[in-house]
Amino acid sequence: MIEPTFAPEFDCLIIGAGVVGTAIARELSRFRLKIGVLEKELDVGMGTSGRNSGVLHSGIHYTPGTLRANLDVEGNSMMEELCRQLKVKIDYIGKLTVASHEDEISTLYKLKEQGEANGVPGLEILKPEGMQRLQPGVSGLKALYSPSTGIICPYTLTIALAENAHQNGVRFYLGQEVIGIEKTDLGFLVSTRQGKKLSSKVLINSAGLYSDRIARMVGITDYKIYPCRGEYLVLDKRLGHHLSTLVYPAPHRGKAGLGIHLTKTVDGNILVGPSNEYIDSPEDWATTSYIMGKLREEGESLLPSLTTSDIIRSFAGVRPKQNPPEIGGVKDFVVESREDVRGFINLVG
């Protein structure tokens, strides 16, 4: 521990300017606090937050009582008002989770039971005729309909949160990669690769794919992040009318994701994806010809009337997983403050 020569410059420093970090910054900016945000990229939302399906989930997929389940449901109910305040477009278009085989039907009923235990409203099991009314051309034996599922542009949301926080006095340090953290009697001294040193009473680790590395800088070695890449196809807006609600396959136990699905963006494009590939580097955003072919096949099997020939681009995102590939599945989020490193708030997963 080093001895401070002056009071910390900030009441709170946040490491990571994704959607979580910028949301925390905006919330804390309501109070008389000096808040700073450190981000290694040159803009906010450049990592996982800007490279995903843009889906506001209802809360059917996670075990009751877990943070994932509680935050899904609570966040879903809060998001409409937040987007109104920030002037960010949001659309609750619902979701069909489709059973294509007999052995998947029981999964739908388990998801419905789990969702109802979590407080998800309006869940309904549909037969093919009901599925066709909601989404003409969809293929499957039965589907679970979750009307509270929505879509949003995650990058736009992250920018809006950051802009509002900045308007309220939060200072953003972009292009500043944290490489060292020292504990002081009054808080923390944070060093960046670019030569900046900032002091703070409280430090929040919201570094996403790098959250385990940041935790290790203060001596917390409990966590390891496994990067998992998801590749997407983007279809032309001309095909947007083919999709009126989101279409997902029934999930398979032990898989790290929710399967390749069809989603619609708030701008009218259709996304097909994501894949689910454990990779070595958290910055490996490459797309591959093999996965592109797999996405085409899966997309057309969910909605045979959809042609994937009008592809305008592809992209990939990388998600942080806490389970290694041989285990798969998901662990719950970690949100903790610890007695062994007082003043350090850890967000992992």
Extract the tokens encoding 200.
Answer: 């703070």
CA–CA distance, 6 with 198 (Å, rounded to integer): 12
Task: Name the percent of the chain in helix, strand, coil, to the closest 5.
Answer: 30, 30, 40
Reported as type and span, the H/E element at residue 271 is: strand 270-273
Q: Give the closest residue to 84 by CA, choosing from 19, 133, 140, 157.
A: 157
Extract the tokens encoding 37.
Answer: 């945000």
- One-letter amino acid for residue 64 of the chain: P
Q: How many CB atoms lie within 10 A of CB 323?
A: 17
Which residues lie closer than 8 Å to 308 by C-beta, 6 or more apart? 233, 235, 272, 295, 296, 299, 300
CA 288, 291, 296, 299 torsion-angle sign = negative
Q: Catalytic residue at 242?
A: no
Q: How many CB atoms lie within 10 A of CB 103?
A: 9
CA–CA distance, 343 with 326 (Å, rounded to integer): 35
Extract the tokens encoding 169.
Answer: 């006095």
Extract the tokens encoding 215.
Answer: 């935790």
Extract the tokens encoding 61.
Answer: 């997929």
Residue of 57, 101, 166, 241 marked catalytic: 57
Hunting for tokens 């403050």 — which residue is that? 337
Hunting for tokens 């066709």 — which residue is that? 132
Instruction: Please give the positions annotated as active site.
Output: 57
